[in-house]
C-alpha cells in the first residue's frame, strides 16, 4: 500500500515537465519498469503456486515497454508500426495470465460465472463496435492503420476485459491483489478508449496517466501477500442469486438500448446486423444464466430437504436413545434411594453414627437429584415423540400452588430468598394435578436459583378470561434481551446461568411450557422493569387434552 500511494503521488510529477520531452518519456518507462521489478520481487518473496502466470504477466508488461520505447524513438511512425506489434503481443500475454490463474484455481468449472463473464464481455463489445470498430471500418485512409487502430486494438481490449471478467469465477476476486489487477486493467481500457475517441492522438497528453496508473496497480498487486491466493484451487460452489449478479445481467440487457439511444442522439451509424447478433447472444446467455440459477436453487432446495430429513431422523434417534437410557437408569436409582432410606431409618437394629449418617444423606440427595434429571430427560423425550398423556380431573389451582410453595420453603430458606403467595380464592380447572405441580415446581425452582440472597419470589394465582392464571415473579438477574423465547428451547441455558454456575440441564422451562400447552394454555416470559423475571401461565377452565393412554407414575 505504501508503494501504491507513493507511485500514484509521483505520477503527477509527469505533467510538470515539458510535453514530448525526454524527462516525460523516461518517467513513463520508469513506472513500467518498476511494475516488472515488483512482480519479480513478489514472486520471489511470496512464491505463489503456480508462479508461471506472473512471469507471463511481467512479459506482457515488458512488451508494452518495448512498444513505448518504439513510440518514443519514432513518434510519427505510421500504423502499423513496430510499436503496434509490441502492444498487440502484450495484450494476449496479460489476458493469458488471467486465464492461467483461473485454470489453476479450477474456476473454469463454474459454468454460471463463466456465462456472466461472457455476458459482460459481449456488452462491452457492443460499445466497442458502435464507437470504435464500425467507424474505423467505414472511415477513409490507409487500410493497415484502420485495421490496427480500429479493429485489432478494440479486439485486444475485448479480450483483456473478458479475461478480467473471467477471474470472477474464483473466490480470489475478493482479495486485494485481484482488486488491484482489475484496477490496472480498467485504467488500461480507459486509456485505450480515450485514445480511440481522440482523433489525431500523438502521445504525451493526459491520456498517458491511465496507462501509468495501470503499471502502478499491477506492481502493487504483485507486492500484496494475497497474490499467492489467486491461483489456489478452490472447491466448486453452487451458483446463487446475488445482487451484483442480477445487476450484471440487467446492465447487459440494457447495454444495447442505451448504446442505440446515444448513437441516435449523436447521429452515428451502428451496423444494425452486428448489433442485433450481439444483443441476441446476450439475451440467450441471460436466459441460460437465469435457467441455471433456477436449477441451482431447485438442487439446493432438494439438498436442504434431504439434510432436513436426516436431521429429523437423527433427532428422533437421539430422543429414543435418551428415553431408553433414562428408563433403564430409573430402576437402579429407585433401588438406591429405597435402600438408602432404609439405612437412614432410626428404627433399625444397627443405629448409625453421625459421620455415616452424613455420608448417606449426601448419597440420598445426589440420588434424588439424579432421579429428577432422569425423569426430566424421559419426559422431554416423550414430549418430542408425542407419547405424553394427562390424567385429567378437576383440580384446585390454589391448593396446588400452596402445596408446591410449602415444598419450596426449605430450599428458599437455605438460599436466603423470601417466598410469598397471593390467591384470589379456589380456582377449579380440568387438568393433571401432578403435572401442574411439576410445572409450578420448575418455575419456582428457577426463580429461587436465579434470585440472589435477600431477594423475593412471589406466586400469584388469579382469575383470567375463560380460566385461571399462575404468575411467578422474582427479583433475580432477569432475562437477557432477546431470550424471551429461546429460554423455552430444549437444553438451552442462558449466559447468566453459565457465568453464575447455576446447575441445570435446560429442560425445566421446556417441560413447563409443554405441560401448559397440553392443558390448552400458554406460558410466556418477560423481563421486569425493575429487575427480575415474570413467568405467566394461563389455563382454560376446560383444557384440550387427550386420554389415549395413561402414563406410568414417575418417581420424583
Rounded to 10°, the helix 82-105/52-73 angle is 170
Same domain for 153 and 208?
yes
Write down the pLDDT at residue 327: 64
Same domain for 375 and 263?
no
Longest dimension (CA), the chain: 127
- 3-state SS of 324-390? HHHHHHHHHHHHHHHHHHHHHCCCCCCCCCHHHHHHHHHHHHHHHHHHHHHHHHHHHHHHHHCCCCC
Same domain for 335 and 444?
no
* pTM > 0.75: no
Strand arrangement of the beta sheet that strand 467-474 belongs to: 418-423, 456-464, 467-474, 533-540, 522-527
- Burial-class residue 435 by CB neighbours within 10 Å (0-12, 13-18, 19+): buried
Residue 489 lies inside a defined structural domain of this protein: yes
Same domain for 168 and 138?
yes
Write down the pLDDT at residue 432: 87
Residue 87 lies inside a defined structural domain of this protein: yes
What's the total number of domains in the chain?
A: 3
Round to whole Å and give the CA distance between 307 and 299.
12
DSSP state of 197: T
Write down the pLDDT at residue 536: 93
Round to whole Å and give the CA distance between 273 and 263.
15
Residue 304 lies inside a defined structural domain of this protein: no
Write down the pLDDT at residue 459: 92
Round to whole Å and give the CA distance between 137 and 412.
95
Residue 531 lies inside a defined structural domain of this protein: yes
Same domain for 443 and 510?
yes
Write down the pLDDT at residue 379: 74
Same domain for 240 and 180?
yes
Q: What is the pLDDT along the chain (556 residues), one digit of tens a residue?
A: 888 888 877 777 877 777 767 877 788 888 888 999 999 999 999 988 888 889 999 999 999 889 888 887 887 777 788 888 998 999 899 888 888 887 777 755 666 667 777 888 888 888 888 888 888 777 777 787 778 878 888 888 888 888 777 666 666 667 888 888 888 888 888 888 777 766 555 455 677 888 888 999 999 999 999 888 887 776 555 445 567 667 777 888 888 888 888 888 888 888 888 888 988 988 888 888 788 778 878 888 888 888 888 888 887 777 677 666 666 676 787 788 777 777 777 665 667 778 887 888 888 878 877 777 777 777 777 776 666 777 888 888 899 999 989 888 888 888 899 999 998 888 888 888 888 988 998 899 888 888 888 999 999 999 888 788 999 999 988 888 878 888 888 777 776 665 665 666 677 888 888 888 888 899 999 988 888 899 999 998 775 443 333 344 333 3
Residue 217 lies inside a defined structural domain of this protein: yes
Write down the pLDDT at residue 310: 87
Same domain for 458 and 358?
no
Same domain for 263 and 354?
no
Which range of residues forms the domain containing residue 366?
A: 321-385
Round to whole Å and give the CA distance between 507 and 379.
10
User: What are the residues whose beta carbons fall under 8 Å from the beta carbon of 374, sequence distance 6 or more?
Assistant: 326, 329, 330, 333
Measured CA angle at 366 (ends 362, 370), to 5 deg: 170
Round to whole Å and give the CA distance between 51 and 78.
38
Same domain for 259 and 326?
no
Which of 385, 413, 441 marks a domain boundary? 385
CA 209 from centroid of its chain's CA atoms: 40
Give whole-number Cα distances, 79 to 83, 192, 203, in Å.
Answer: 9, 15, 14
Contact present, 239 and 296 (Cβ < 8 Å):
yes
Residue 433 lies inside a defined structural domain of this protein: yes
Same domain for 123 and 218?
yes
Write down the pLDDT at residue 239: 47
Round to whole Å and give the CA distance between 488 and 151.
70
Write down the pLDDT at residue 190: 86
Round to whole Å and give the CA distance between 377 and 319.
9
Taking alpha carbons only, the member of 450, 440, 458 closest to residue 478 is 450
Residue 344 lies inside a defined structural domain of this protein: yes
Structure-block grid coordinates of residue 414: 437455605
Residue 141 lies inside a defined structural domain of this protein: yes
Q: Which CATH number goes with the domain that contains 512?
A: 3.30.565.10
Measured CA angle at 258 (ends 255, 263), to 5 deg: 120
Same domain for 398 and 343?
no
DSSP state of 542: B
DSSP string, 270-306: --HHHHHHHHHHHHHHHHHHHHHHHHHHHHHHHHHHH
Same domain for 371 and 421?
no
Round to whole Å and give the CA distance between 461 and 423.
5
Amino acid at each position: 500500500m505504501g508503494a501504491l500511494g507513493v507511485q500514484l503521488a509521483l505520477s503527477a510529477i509527469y505533467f510538470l515537465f515539458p510535453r514530448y520531452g525526454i524527462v516525460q518519456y523516461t518517467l513513463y518507462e520508469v513506472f513500467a519498469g518498476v511494475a516488472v521489478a515488483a512482480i519479480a520481487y513478489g514472486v520471489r518473496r511470496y512464491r505463489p503456486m503456480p508462479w508461471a502466470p506472473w512471469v507471463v504477466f511481467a512479459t506482457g508488461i515488458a512488451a508494452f515497454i518495448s512498444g513505448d520505447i518504439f513510440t518514443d524513438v519514432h513518434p510519427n511512425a505510421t500504423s502499423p508500426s513496430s510499436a503496434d506489434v509490441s502492444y498487440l503481443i502484450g495484450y494476449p500475454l496479460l489476458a493469458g495470465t488471467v486465464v492461467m490463474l483461473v485454470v489453476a484455481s479450477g474456476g473454469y468449472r463454474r459454468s454460471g460465472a463463466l456465462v456472466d463473464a461472457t455476458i459482460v464481455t459481449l456488452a462491452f463489445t457492443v460499445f466497442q463496435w458502435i464507437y470504435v470498430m464500425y467507424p474505423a471500418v467505414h472511415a477513409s485512409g490507409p487500410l493497415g492503420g484502420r485495421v490496427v487502430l480500429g479493429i485489432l486494438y478494440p479486439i485486444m481490449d475485448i479480450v483483456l476485459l473478458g479475461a478480467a471478467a473471467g477471474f470472477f469465477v474464483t473466490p480470489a476476486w475478493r482479495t486485494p491483489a485481484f482488486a488491484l489487477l482489475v484496477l490496472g486493467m480498467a485504467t488500461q481500457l480507459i486509456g485505450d478508449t480515450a485514445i480511440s475517441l481522440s482523433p489525431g492522438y500523438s502521445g504525451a497528453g493526459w491520456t498517458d496517466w491511465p496507462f501509468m496508473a495501470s503499471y502502478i496497480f499491477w506492481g502493487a498487486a504483485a507486492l500484496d501477500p494475497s497474490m499467492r491466493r489467486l491461483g489456489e484451487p478452490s472447491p466448486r460452489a453452487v451458483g446463487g442469486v446475488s445482487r451484483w449478479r442480477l445487476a450484471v445481467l440487467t446492465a447487459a440487457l440494457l447495454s444495447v438500448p442505451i448504446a442505440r439511444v446515444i448513437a441516435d442522439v449523436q447521429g452515428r451509424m451502428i451496423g444494425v446486423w452486428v448489433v442485433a447478433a450481439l444483443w441476441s447472444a446476450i439475451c440467450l446467455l441471460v436466459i441460460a444464466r437465469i435457467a441455471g440459477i433456477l436449477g441451482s436453487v431447485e438442487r439446493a432446495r432438494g439438498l436442504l430437504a434431504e439434510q432436513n430429513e436426516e436431521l429429523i431422523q437423527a433427532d428422533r434417534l437421539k430422543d429414543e436413545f435418551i428415553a431408553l437410557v433414562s428408563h433403564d437408569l430409573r430402576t437402579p436409582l429407585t433401588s438406591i434411594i429405597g435402600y438408602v432410606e432404609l439405612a437412614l431409618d432410626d428404627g433399625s437394629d444397627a443405629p448409625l453414627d453421625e459421620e455415616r449418617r452424613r455420608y448417606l444423606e449426601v448419597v440420598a440427595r445426589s440420588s434424588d437429584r439424579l432421579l429428577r434429571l432422569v425423569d426430566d430427560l424421559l419426559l422431554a423425550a416423550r414430549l418430542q415423540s408425542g407419547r405424553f398423556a394427562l390424567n385429567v380431573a378437576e383440580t384446585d389451582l390454589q391448593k396446588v400452588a400452596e402445596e408446591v410453595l410449602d415444598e419450596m420453603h426449605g430450599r428458599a430458606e437455605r438460599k436466603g430468598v423470601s417466598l410469598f403467595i397471593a390467591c384470589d380464592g379456589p380456582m377449579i380447572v380440568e387438568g393433571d394435578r401432578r403435572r401442574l405441580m411439576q410445572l409450578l415446581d420448575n418455575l419456582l425452582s428457577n426463580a429461587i436459583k436465579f434470585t440472589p440472597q435477600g431477594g423475593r419470589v412471589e406466586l400469584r394465582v388469579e382469575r383470567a378470561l375463560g380460566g385461571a392464571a399462575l404468575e411467578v415473579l422474582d427479583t433475580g438477574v432477569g432475562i437477557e434481551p432477546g431470550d424471551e423465547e429461546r429460554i423455552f428451547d430444549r437444553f438451552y441455558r442462558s449466559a447468566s446461568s453459565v457465568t453464575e454456575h447455576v446447575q441445570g440441564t435446560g429442560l425445566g422451562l421446556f417441560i413447563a411450557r409443554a405441560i401448559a400447552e397440553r392443558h390448552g394454555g400458554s406460558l410466556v416470559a418477560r423481563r421486569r422493569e425493575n429487575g427480575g423475571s415474570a413467568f405467566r401461565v394461563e389455563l382454560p377452565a376446560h383444557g384440550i387434552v387427550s386420554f389415549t393412554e395413561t402414563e406410568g407414575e414417575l418417581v420424583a
